[in-house]
Structure 1
Amino acid sequence: MDVLKKTPFYDYYSAFAEARCIDFGGWELPVQFTGIVKEHEAVRSRAGLFDVSHMGEFMVQGSGAEAFLQKLTTNDVSKLADGAAQYTLMCYPNGGVVDDLLVYRLGEERYMLVVNASNIDKDLLWLQEHLATEFSGVSLTNVSDETILLALQGPLAETVLQTVTPSPLSELKPFHFIENAEVCGVPVLLSRTGYTGEDGFELYASSGTAEALWNGLLAAGAPHGLTPAGLGARDTLRFEAKLPLYGQELSADITPLEAGVQFFVKLDKGDFIGRDALLAQKEAGLPRRLVGLEMIDRGIPRSHYPVYAEGVKIGEITTGTQSPTLKRNLGLALLDTAYTAIGTEVYVEIRGKQLKAAVVKAPFYKKSQGVNPQ
């Protein structure tokens, strides 16, 4: 049996009696520390600290780095200034998604890519293949094993973090970062990014600094109700904000346009892998779209549950749960476009029964306005 990988923070999980770990793509990671709903509510109202060190980090450097990333990703890398980051995707020629990722511009010829943990090996091969055949003067280095990543998220994240860093956080805009910041006395790349629908920060550092960062941040956050949070809350938080998860809302078979992240696909920037297929799909009209669903009948929609209308299967649930914030049974579903208008009634098959649901607005939660009115 394969031994599960552990992050440098693993030994600190045991300080929490209710902590529970699971196998997540070959990693032994906490699904909860004190309870998924408690952690979710802490992030929405105060702050939560996530160990997401399983994510992958690649360094791309050299005179052709920008051109290389322009070819491989859907967003416009040329719009980035030093100290700025962007969400983007890598696509196959048919428009399906290799992965979604963040690109950080460290300098004119220096970039860092942050990719999904389950896709590290696949992404690295994909990038290497195109580097070898099309680009010279560019180096690609996998620094995932030597990099740790903590996400401090929630409305009090800035308040907590400002007590342990001299960096002026109020001046750091979303999707911007400080490459050589100091937090808890150790050097970090400090980024105003996250995956929860709340304000927050992500801290990239050397693995040897794990103890100082973990203990320092939790101590600083204790007076403000900061709690460690696991994968369970991370999933419910990103779901309410309609932030896609690779393997559910995005995949080799689901395009960015179908998943509703077309804003990050710049078809007018020039050629990139997948552009022709995505342009053709846009011009022909999307055959299916990702929408929000709310159950009318009693039941909780789960990933891959089929969805029906007029006796015909029209799609399936990608993610679903009882929303901890809204206390309603909600789902994201990839449906035939003919059935995606707000208010359309559909049926979700749950344990062999077709239960009524309706298409509703998503995201279900926005930080600026709280709960979305339906």
Structure 2
Amino acid sequence: MTSPASPRQTPLAEVHESLGAHFTEFAGWRMPVRYSGDTAEHQAVRTAAGLFDLSHMGEIRISGPQAAAALDHALVANASAITVGRARYTMLCNAEGGVLDDLIVYRLGEQEYLVVANAANADVVSAELAERVSRFDAAHEDVSDRYALIAVQGPKAVEILAPLTSTDLSEVKYYAGYPSRVADVDVLLARTGYTGEDGFELFTSPGDAPAVWRALSESGAPHGLLPAGLSCRDTLRLEAGMPLYGNELSAAVTPYHANLGRVVKLDKPGDFVGRAALARTAEAPTERTLVGLRTDARRAPRHGYRVLDADGAEVGEVTSGAPSPTLGHPIAMAYVDRSHSATGTALQVDIRGRSIDVSVVELPFYRRTA
């Protein structure tokens, strides 16, 4: 028998060890799940800032004369319309319209794009893109090992980052990304994130990551910045109504199921993988749709729990759920029958044989005010 491979370490592993992080294995990586505590880290991001290691994400470079056309074919987005220095949230779908992953695509040059994939799907995305762009005059290169990724997220992110860069952060638009220098290190500086707060993601070389982390930590200390792990990242994205692959998104659902049909550009020139199936889905409402749920019960609905109507009949399934540190009560996202999806609808969730009352609410649960 062969022993399973050890999880991969990020370039910041020793930093996390020195901070006393608690670790978990995620998508084949040994990742910090928490440092000071889930609630403290969550609240730091909402009120000040949190510092995240996202080096487990996958990065794929698509370049060449037909790079734009290749991505137009491969993705549901209109990649040709992304201007240099900007980014777009999009999805990679199969021929049936099911979501293989949700992605962020950065246009680094006229003939160069960087596709960022979720860690659990990085290999699938890389292989699919390699096959889909092969018919074009474009090159595919998995460059994941060339990057570490650090995120600073929260209302104090600008104040923390500004002293470390000559880039005028007021000019960096949301979903922009371009070369910069931070702490005397070359980075790709992006104004993106997965927390519902303002913030930045910094793509660095693996060797430069510890120095950038330390510089951000020192700059952020007077502002209340805390290192933040995967656990609070999950409650932050849940409050912000952001989908998680494997929960809200999968190959069994289309973007329209998740109320993300806006990312599908059916009117872009040419064909793309999944277009015919997605066009059919766009014409007819899906049987189930993604909604928010809230409850005043003490226990939170969790992934996989059944959603019931007033008569106890199953009408849906919870995809994500947790107590909300910001709102002070449990929240969840769930796919429910459209007949039970209107805001204010009273439903129940079966928590291990005991039903609790929930109500349908609009997403997101939390939206920053500035």
Task: Flag whether TM exceeds 0.5 (same fold).
Answer: yes
Structure-2 residue corresponding to 1:151: 151
Matching residue of 1:318: 319
How far is 1:15 from its partner? 2.2
Paired residues, what number?
A: 365
Which residue pairs with 1:114 in the alignment?
Answer: 116
Aligned 8 A contact 2:108 2:178 in 1:
no
Amino acid corresponding to residue 222 of structure 1 in structure 2: A
Q: Which residue of 1 is the match for residue 299 of structure 2? A: 299
Aligned to 2:368: 367
User: Is the counterpart of residue 55 in structure 1 residue 60 in structure 2?
Assistant: no
SS in 1 for 2:9: coil
Match of 1:172 in 2: 172
| Counterpart amino acid of residue 294 in structure 1 | R
Q: How far apart are the structure 2 equivalents of 1:245 and 1:263?
A: 17
Within 1, Cα distance between the matches of 2:230 and 2:343?
Answer: 30
Matching residue's letter, 1:127: L
Residues 217-257 of structure 1, C-alpha deviation per residue, up to 9 Å, x if partnerless?
10111111111100011111011001111111110011111
Maintained 8 Å contact 1:70/1:78: yes
Letter in 1 for 2:13: Y
Query: In structure 2, how many angstroms separate the alpha carbons of the residues matched to 1:295 and 1:280?
Result: 35
Matches within 5 A, 1:239-258: 239-258=238-257
- Matched residue type, 1:353: R
- Residues 77-105 of structure 1: per-residue CA shift (max 9 Å, x gap): 12211100000001111111011001111
In 2, Cα distance between the equivalents of 1:130 and 1:76? 15
Encode CA deviations 1:315-362: one digit per residue, 9 max, x unaligned. Answer: 110100000100111100011111100111111110112222111111
1:162 is aligned to 2:165: no
Q: Is the 8 A contact 1:298 1:355 kept in 2?
A: no
Q: What is the rounded CA distance, in whole Å, between the counterparts of 1:20 and 1:185 in structure 2?
A: 30
Task: Quote the RMSD (CA, aligned, Å).
Answer: 1.2
Distance (Å, rounded) in 2 between the aligned partners of 1:125 and 1:177:
25
Report the Cα offset of residue 296 of structure 1: 4.5
Distance between the aligned counterparts of 2:153 and 2:162, measured in 1?
A: 13
Q: TM-score when scaled to structure 2?
A: 0.96
On the 8 A contact 2:86/2:177 being kept in 1, the answer is yes
Q: 1: CA distance between counterparts of 2:226 and 2:124? A: 33
CA distance in 2, matches of 1:194, 1:211: 20
TM-aligned CA deviation for residue 297 of structure 1? 4.2
What is the Cα deviation at residue 284 of structure 1? Answer: 1.7
**1:150·1:204 contact (CA, 8 Å) conserved in 2?**
yes
Where structure 2 has 5 or more consecutive residues not aligned to the other structure, the ranges are none
C-alpha deviation, 1:274, in angstroms: 1.3
CA distance in 2: counterparts of 1:16 and 1:209, whole angstroms: 18
Aligned to 2:127: 125
Shift of 1:298: 4.1
**Structure-2 separation of matches of 1:127 and 1:304:** 31
The corresponding residue for 2:348 is: 347
> 1:336 — aligned with what?
337
Of 2, 6, 23 in structure 1, the residue corresponding to residue 9 of structure 2 is: 6
Q: Tell me, yes or no, if structure 1 residue 194 matches structure 2 residue 193.
A: yes
* Partner residue, 1:372: none
Q: In 2, are the aligned partners of 1:16 and 1:34 still within 8 Å (CA)?
A: no
Aligned to 2:28: 26
- Percent identity, aligned pairs only, is 45
1:236 equivalenced with 2:235 (yes/no) = yes
Q: Match for 2:7: what amino acid?
A: L
Question: Is the Cα contact below 8 Å between 2:93 and 2:101 reproduced in 1?
Answer: yes
Alpha-carbon contact 1:296-1:358 (below 8 Å) kept: no
Provide runs of 4+ in structure 1 moved above 6 Å: none
2-side partners of 1:74 and 1:191: how far apart?
22
Deviations 1:117-171 (A, max 9, x none): 1111111111122233xx2321100110121000110000011000111111011
**2:73 touches 2:132 (CA, 8 Å); kept in 1?**
no
Is residue 263 of structure 2 the alignment partner of residue 264 of structure 1? yes
What is residue 101 of structure 1 aligned with on the other side?
103
Q: For residues 278-330 of structure 1, what are the alpha-carbon distances to aligned partners after superposition, in whole Å with 9 as ceiling and x for unaligned? A: 22112122211100001254421001111112332111101000001001111
Distance in 2 separating the partners of 1:160 and 1:334: 39
Residue number in structure 2 paired with 1:137: 137
Q: Secondary structure at the match of 1:163?
A: helix
- What is the Cα deviation at residue 368 of structure 1? 2.1
SS in structure 1 at match of 2:272: coil
Partners of 1:205 and 1:117 lie apart in 2 by: 17
Taking the aligned partners of 1:175 and 1:136, their CA distance within structure 2 comes to 27
Q: Which amino acid aligns with 1:342?
A: T
Q: Could you tell me how far apart the structure 1 residues matched to 2:236 and 2:297 are?
A: 24
Q: d(CA) in 2 for partners of 1:15 and 1:89?
A: 37
